[in-house]
Amino acid sequence: MNNTRLWRNTCIFIYCLLIGVVWIVNYVVKKETCKQLYFDATATPYNKVGVVLGTSKFMDKAKTLVNPYYQKRIEAALALYKAGKIEIIIVSGDNSTKYYNEPLLMMQDLVAGGVPPENIRLDNAGLRTLDSILRCRDIFGQTHFTVISQAFHNQRALFIANQKGLTTIGFCAPDGDDQWEEKVREKLARVKMVIDLLTNKKAKHYGEKQYIY
């Protein structure tokens, strides 16, 4: 009986500890980045470069159902570009196989929306948010830029950039309908982010410099 009680109490303690860690991390991330978020394109400060963080375009294998998170990021990038708040757009996403290419799809949709191809740069190794931020600095040579995604995602990206000494702001696309994505998955991703920062995690791929001047 004593062993059972000890095991139960230990599990309760670990559970409470994990909940506490998640709460503290999310509180710190929100508090540190809240003043860097913008929701109105005309009120957003100018940066030459904007970085659109990648996500899958389609939600089904038949590629008929467009992911609202993706669509709203594209629309946000177009709004910011047309407002004259960015000049060059880096589309940063996963192109880990020849059958899956987030940056190319983003570029095609931005061009269709009126952005000249020469004003778009492909970051094919933005496998994670951390990678996108580090590669913007190390591959594209940027220390001041605008991150474009949903607010909850921007907060994590900006926190990473802040810890790396970069000067960034986030332009926020409207949220989607997936409460799991925003309320659960993101909170766990922020804990993983802290671990990556504490261990000085690097981007998975680097490669040839493509500095934007």
Q: Flag whether 210 is in a domain.
A: no
Enclosing H/E stretch for 171: strand 167-173
DSSP assignment letter at 46: P
pLDDT at 55 over 90: yes
Q: Flag whether 208 is in a domain.
A: no
The number of folded domains in the chain is 1
Find, among 128, 114, 139, 124, the residue nearest to 49 by Cα. Answer: 139
Question: Is residue 109 very low, low, confident or very high in pLDDT (cuts 50, 70, 90)?
Answer: very high
Q: Flag whether 212 is in a domain.
A: no
Strand order across the beta sheet in which 167-173 lies: 37-38, 167-173, 144-150, 49-53, 88-92, 120-123
Find, among 47, 50, 48, 196, the residue nearest to 123 by Cα. Answer: 50
Percent of the chain with pLDDT over 90: 79
Q: What is the pLDDT at residue 182?
A: 65
Range of the domain at 9: 2-198
pLDDT digit string, tens, across residues 24-40: 999 999 999 999 999 99
Between CA 138 and CA 208 the distance in angstroms is: 10
Q: Flag whether 24 is in a domain.
A: yes
158-173 mean pLDDT: 98
Q: What is the pLDDT at residue 56?
A: 93
State residue 87 phi and psi, 5-degree precision: -115, -40
State residue 50 phi and psi, 5-degree precision: -120, 140
Q: Flag whether 213 is in a domain.
A: no
Q: Flag whether 18 is in a domain.
A: yes
Token digits of residue 182: 């925003």
CATH number (domain holding residue 112)? 3.40.50.620
Q: Flag whether 59 is in a domain.
A: yes
95-115 mean pLDDT: 95
Q: Flag whether 206 is in a domain.
A: no
